[in-house]
Structure 1
Amino acid sequence: MRRDIADLFELDPALTHLNHGAFGAVPRSVREAQDQARAAVERAPMRAFRDELPAGLGDAREAAAAFVGVPTDAAALVRNVSEGVAVVLASLDIGPADEVVVSSHGYPTAASAVQARGATVSTATFGLGDDPRDVVAALAGAVTDRTRLVIVDHITSPTALVLPVAEVAAAVAPVPVLVDAAHVPGALPGLDVEALGVDFWVGNLHKWAYTPRSAATLWVAAHHRDRIRPLVTSWSHGLPFPASFDLQGTVDHSAWLAVPDGLAAWHALGGWPQVERNAALLRRGAEYVRTALGTPSPHGGIPTAPCLEVVALPPGVAETPEAAEELWQRLYAAGFVVPPVSFAGRGLLRLAAAPYNDEDDYERLAAALQTLLRAGSGAR
């Protein structure tokens, strides 16, 4: 691990952190900025809620919108992608008579949110080794006359694929498309949200953009903005989108107020050149692990994310959720924070690369895996 960079965070030095994509990691400076924002509210709560928070939250929204390259009036702050999905489902009044299409690579809470509203989930299936055309065909083929919404991941969480969301949107039109972009802000260069032809796009800022957790941005196409409402009716009620999302009662707004500090930290850590460095490191690291395990790349023609990649585990390893959990616990006990994934009956290992990682992290992981798997851990 690069100690000079790791010391900018508060990560446990006894662990090798190779799972930045799960929850991110908050730099010390950003945590301190959030503490200061919280303290400012506590010094004069009445003044803060009446006079100061609206301006501060407006600045945070503007910074988040600029970071993902969308107009300020097009994006609201929400706490995470799951909240953004729930907002869209509620605003479209998705209910028992409706169907929502998701993919087999989708994050499961999106499907859970659909089911919670009594709607039907239709899952479009495609393989890890498939072509982008297969992704488009699967999602378009799942659409019926009951389909009210298609939810597609921009970067898939379990498999680290970059999906062709613009092509999907064109293929399923006029059905609206919601993009789950949890892993995108700060990790996927060349982003042009408004050119994708989608209706909604929501990305977490706390994974790769170093903001405090509970910070995400929800972009909404212009023709939907007058119907989008926050889940909580409070003091921002009646304001136009996106200000209508700002003041939702006496919640802790400090994570949002520190969004500009997190984005400043992303730039200070190197911005896009740092992402390129991390991506190159990850490709080398994944190759170390594949070589140690003797497994081929599981990928086909679908591009992979810059800073996330999955490596195939040997046959019989982590092929069920229970076996993946067992291997996770053994890796953690050995000092490695890295998630095994059971996907479509096969075992994968999802690796990430952050500025604090170096090649030694992956070399040691490769050696540890050889030892653990020789001992039969995770095999079922």
Structure 2
Amino acid sequence: MRRDIAELFELDPALTHLNHGAFGAVPRAVREAQDRARARIEGAPMRAFRDDLPVVLADARARAATFIGVPPDSTALVRNVTEAVGVVLQGLEIGPGDDVVVSNHGYATAGFSVEARGATLRTATFPVNAHPDEVVAAFRAATTESTRLVLIDHITSPTALELPVADVAAAVAPVPVLVDAAHVPGALPGLDVEALGVAFWAGNLHKWAYTPRAAATLWVAPEHRGRLRPLVTSWSHGLPFPERFDLQGTVDHSAWVAVPDGLAAWRDLGGWDQVECNAKLLLDGADHVRRALDTPDPLGGIPAAPCLRLVALPDGVGETPESAEALWQRLHAAGFVVPPVSFGGRGYLRLAAAPYNDEDDYARLAAALPALLAA
């Protein structure tokens, strides 16, 4: 672990943290900014909700929009991508008789939300080593006359792949596309959300953009903005999009207030230069672990995410959710925070790289794995 940067965070030094993609890590200065925001709200709640928060949240929302390269009036603040999915399903009035297409690489809770509304979930299926054309074909084949929404991950959570979003959107048009970009803000350079040809794009800020947890953005194409409402309607009711999302009752707004502090931390940590360094570190680290395991590179034509990467486990290891969970417990007991993933009948490790990581983190994991797997 890079001690100079690790000191900026509050991570347990007894653990080797290689799972930034799960919940991120809040820098100490950002957590302190959130604490100050919470204290100001508690010091005068009436002043906060009537006078302060509308102004402060509008600024935070605008800065988040600028960070992902879209106009301020196009983007609302939500707590996470899962909430954004619920907002879109509600706005499109998805229900019985409707199909929603997801992929077998998607986040399971999106499917739960679809089925809870009585709609039919259809799955675009493709392997880890698929070619981008196979991904497009899978989404096209899963789309029917009853499809009301296609949900695609920009970077897949279990498999760390960067999917061809624009090509899929073109292939399924005119069906609207919602992009789950939970792992994208602050981690994927060259992003142009408005050029993707999608209707909705939602990204978490608490992973690679270093904001407090429960901070995310929901970008909406102009033709859909009028129909979207927050899941909790409160004092912002009646305001235009995106202002109607700002004040949602008595929820804790402090994570949103501290969004500018998180984005400033991202810049202070090196911005895109740091992301490039992380990507190179991860590529080398994954190679080191793969050589220790003597397993092949599982990837094919789809590029891996810059700061997330799969390493295949040996045959027979982590191939089921139960065995992957057992391996997670052994890894954590040995001081490693790295998730085993069971996908398509094969076991993998999903490695991440963050500014606080260094080469020794991956070397320690590579050295420990043979004995841990033998156990």
Distance (Å, rounded) in 2 between the aligned partners of 1:213 and 1:260:
13
**DSSP 3-state at the match of 2:341:** strand
1:278 alignment partner, SS class: helix
Q: How far apart are the structure 2 equivalents of 1:93 and 1:362?
A: 47
2:145 aligned partner: 145
Match of 2:254 in 1: 254
> In structure 1, what is the equivalent of residue 24 of structure 2?
24
TM-superposed CA distance for 1:144, in Å, is: 0.5
Q: 1:268-308 deviations in whole A, cap 9, x for unaligned?
A: 00000000000000000000110000000000000110000
Write the deviation string for residues 48-86 of structure 1: whole angstroms up to 9, x where unpaired: 110110000000000100000000000000000000000
* 2:52 alignment counterpart: 52
Q: Does 1:154 align with 2:154?
A: yes
For 1:216 and 1:363, the matched residues in 2 are separated by 34
Q: Secondary structure at the match of 1:317?
A: coil
Shift of 1:367: 1.0
Would you say how many aligned residue pairs link Structure 1 and Structure 2? 375
Q: Provide the residue aligned with 2:273 in structure 1.
A: 273
Match of 1:76 in 2: 76
Partner of 1:328: 328
Give 1:374 deviation, angstroms: 2.3
| Equivalent residue letter for 1:144 | T
Whole-Å separation in 2 of the counterparts to 1:216 and 1:138 = 29
Residue 251 of structure 1: SS of its match in structure 2?
coil
Equivalences for residues 232-311 of structure 1 within 5 A: 232-311=232-311
* 2:184 counterpart residue number: 184
Matched, 1:9 2:6: no
Match of 1:378 in 2: none
Match of 2:341 in 1: 341
Distance 2:30 2:115 in 1: 36
| Distance in 2 between residues matched to 1:150 and 1:104, nearest whole Å | 13
Q: Residues of 2 paired with 1:135 and 1:124: CA distance? A: 8
| Mapped partners of 1:152, 1:42: distance in 2 | 40
2:312 maps to which residue? Answer: 312
Q: CA deviation at 1:371?
A: 1.1
How many angstroms does 1:148 deviate by? 0.4
In the aligned structure 2, how far is the partner of 1:168 from the partner of 1:374? 42
Q: For the residues of structure 2 that align with 1:374 and 1:269, how far apart are their CA atoms? A: 38
1:235 partner SS = coil
C-alpha distance in 1 between matches for 2:344 and 2:234: 43
- Distance, in Å, in 2 between the alignment partners of 1:144 and 1:225 is 25
Aligned to 1:200: 200
In percent, how many aligned pairs have the same letter?
77
SS at match of 2:203: strand
Deviation at 1:373, TM superposition (A): 1.4
**2:64 is matched with which residue?**
64
**2:157 aligns to what SS in structure 1?**
coil
Q: How far is the alpha carbon of 1:94 from its aligned partner?
A: 0.3
Structure 1 unaligned spans of 5+: 376-380
TM-score (norm 2): 1.00
- Provide the aligned C-alpha RMSD in A: 0.5
- How far, CA to CA, are the matches of 1:215 and 1:112 in structure 2? 22
* 1:14-36 deviation digits (Å, cap 9, x = unpaired): 00000000000000000000000
Q: SS in structure 2 opposite 1:35? A: helix
1:128-165 per-residue CA deviation (whole Å, 9 max, x = no partner) reads 11100000000011000110000000000000000000
Q: After superposition, what is the alpha-carbon deviation per residue over 1:81-116, rounded to whole angstroms, capped at 9, x for unaligned?
A: 000000000110000110100001011111111011
TM-score in terms of structure 1 length = 0.98
Counterparts of 1:190 and 1:116, CA distance in 2: 36
CA distance in structure 1 between the aligned counterparts of 2:373 and 2:138, rounded to whole angstroms: 35
SS in 2 for 1:95: coil
Deviations 1:184-221 (A, max 9, x none): 00000000000000000000000000000000000000
Worse overlay, 262-271 or 108-117:
108-117
Aligned amino acid, residue 337 of structure 1: V
1:371 lines up with 2:375 in the alignment? no
- Using the alignment, how far apart are the partners of 1:251 and 1:128 within structure 2? 39
> What letter corresponds to residue 351 of structure 1 in structure 2?
L
SS of equivalent to 1:341:
strand
CA distance in 1, matches of 2:119, 2:369: 42
Distance in 2 between residues matched to 1:373 and 1:47, nearest whole Å: 57
Q: What is the alpha-carbon distance in structure 2 between the residues aligned to residue 373 and residue 327 of structure 1?
A: 8
Aligned to 2:170: 170
After TM superposition, the structure 1 = structure 2 runs for residues 95-134 of structure 1, keeping only pairs within 5 Å, are 95-134=95-134
* Structure 2 unaligned residues grouped into runs of 5+: none
Q: Which amino acid aligns with 2:242?
A: P
